[in-house]
Structure 1
Amino acid sequence: MTESNMNYMNALRGLGTLTHKKKHDCLYNRAHMDKYVYCLEEGLCALHSVSPGGRERIYQYFLPGDFVGFIPAYARSYPDDTFYAFSITAKSACTLYQIPYSTFREFVEAHPDFYRWLFETAIAHYDNALKHCYALQDGDNFVSLCCALTELAIYEDPHYVIHKDFSYSELAGYLGIHTITVTRLMGKLKDMGIVSKRGHQTVIQDMEQLTAMAQARC
């Protein structure tokens, strides 16, 4: 993110209200439409759906520093009820700045350079969602896990790490596989020296090799 965009982010925080959400709190769905854009400061959120049978499917994660829910600020209607199935939900306790749609749109209109950052962010989310869907179709659980880890990693000098709220159970739900499978595959990555554990957090020791394995089919 450029210094200019960082300044914009700080300005938007100043227009918002600091709020806290508990795990499983809904930030957005088409049924209640809170009409807020959120700047995620701490925690983990996800765009997901739950089938009538109770099966969850996750399409996109949001990590600290992400804007959450800015697309609905512009796409305010849909041709059918399909999107009532989708929600943005806190997957852990979260701290966020909530900004009303109208305030957010007024800010963006007054700062047209900020459009580029929004566009790039939307494209990055779209690209990650496509990669995730492709990895799931591929059927190779090991490659799918490698793809997910490269997608979800955040840089904390001198290593990349996976957000502490990504338990093996959370990763299993994202990949549509059993938790025991994730445990086995993460054990394989540990044995290869690619990842390690730091408390409850996964540390990526060799991002280059992890990326190479992910790009084999990702």
Structure 2
Amino acid sequence: MKKTELSIHCQSCSFSHLCLPVSLNQDELDSLDNIIERKTPLHKHDILVNKGDKFRSLFAVRSGSFKSAIHTEDGQEQIVSFHLPGDLIGFDGLYSKRYGSTTTALETGMVCELPYENLEEMSALYPNVKQQIMIHMSGEIQQDQEMIMLLNKRTAEQKLLHFLSFLAQRFGERGFSKKEFNLSMTRNEIGNYLGLTVETISRLLTRFQKENLIKVDGKLITIIESNKIVAKANNLEESLI
């Protein structure tokens, strides 16, 4: 791939510690840089991949946020995941060689494309790269399992508290504030993901604010009592809403 002075290399990317959790040496980083394609920005509602498209690449989020969703034949949407900087997108296409969900930009964002054919060849030469891919796949499986438990065993209140706590943790891992962040997803999208109505999401956010757990200012969320949020989210006892 022809490089320009504006290219952002793995060595200088602030999220490489998330995309590349395994320590790679200089030769491995240079080889990875040679196969990565930096895509032009995607804007809100732009589609990165469509469900059923031929699997060709994994995508690392450089900036912005994305959602992956499955659509039924009658057009209903079920959101299956949200993606933040440092996340890899596209693992659901590995088995069938077709992407299993449609991924859309929630805001202006950029991704690095990793052509899988080239990535496989590189993995044969550098075992650390293969290990890195397996770590990401394992993380996705664990996250899916946690979501199944969340949707089946938690109350609506605990689902939303867990979601807010999870977002705060992920923003913190990326060097952003874990106390104050903007929600790039709408209340309707959060409800869709958690299996709750938009009315329930709005009502709970209002209640959490009255309880002084958070402060809500439009899309801006300020975490006030992070320890209480985690404690309430992990309490499996029934609570009324």
Q: TM-score range by the shorter chain?
A: 0.7 to 0.9
> Distance in 2 between the 1:14 and 1:123 partners?
26
Q: Is 1:52 aligned with 2:88? A: no
SS in 2 for 1:4: coil
> Distance in 2 between the 1:126 and 1:76 partners?
17
- 1:78-117 equivalences under 5 Å are 86-117=101-132
SS in 1 for 2:201: helix
- 1:180-191 equivalences under 5 Å are 180-191=199-210
Count of matched residue positions in the alignment of Structure 1 and Structure 2: 212
Gap change, CA 1:54 and 1:16, over 3 Å in 2:
same
Matched to 2:42, the amino acid is K
Q: Which has the higher strand share?
A: 1
Q: Is 1:64 aligned with 2:79? A: no
> Distance in 2 between the 1:125 and 1:84 partners?
15
Gap change, CA 1:9 and 1:208, over 3 Å in 2:
farther
Kept after mapping to 2: 8 A contact 1:60/1:125: no
State the Cα distance separating 1:71 from its structure 2 match. 5.3
> Distance in 2 between the 1:192 and 1:111 partners?
52
Q: Paired residue for 2:45? A: 24
Kept after mapping to 2: 8 A contact 1:13/1:97: no
- Deviations for 1:69-114, whole angstroms, at most 9, x for unmatched residues? 1453x4244xxxxx77632333333211112222222233332123
State the Cα distance separating 1:119 from its structure 2 match. 2.5
State the Cα distance separating 1:147 from its structure 2 match. 1.9
Once superposed, what is the RMSD of the aligned Cα atoms?
Answer: 3.1
Pair member with larger Rg: 2
Kept after mapping to 2: 8 A contact 1:13/1:39: no
Which consecutive unaligned segments of at least 5 residues does structure 1 have?
Answer: 78-82
Question: TM-score when scaled to structure 2?
Answer: 0.72
* Overall identity of the aligned pairs, in %: 19
- 1:79-158 equivalences under 5 Å are 86-138=101-153, 140-153=155-168, 154-155=171-172, 156=175
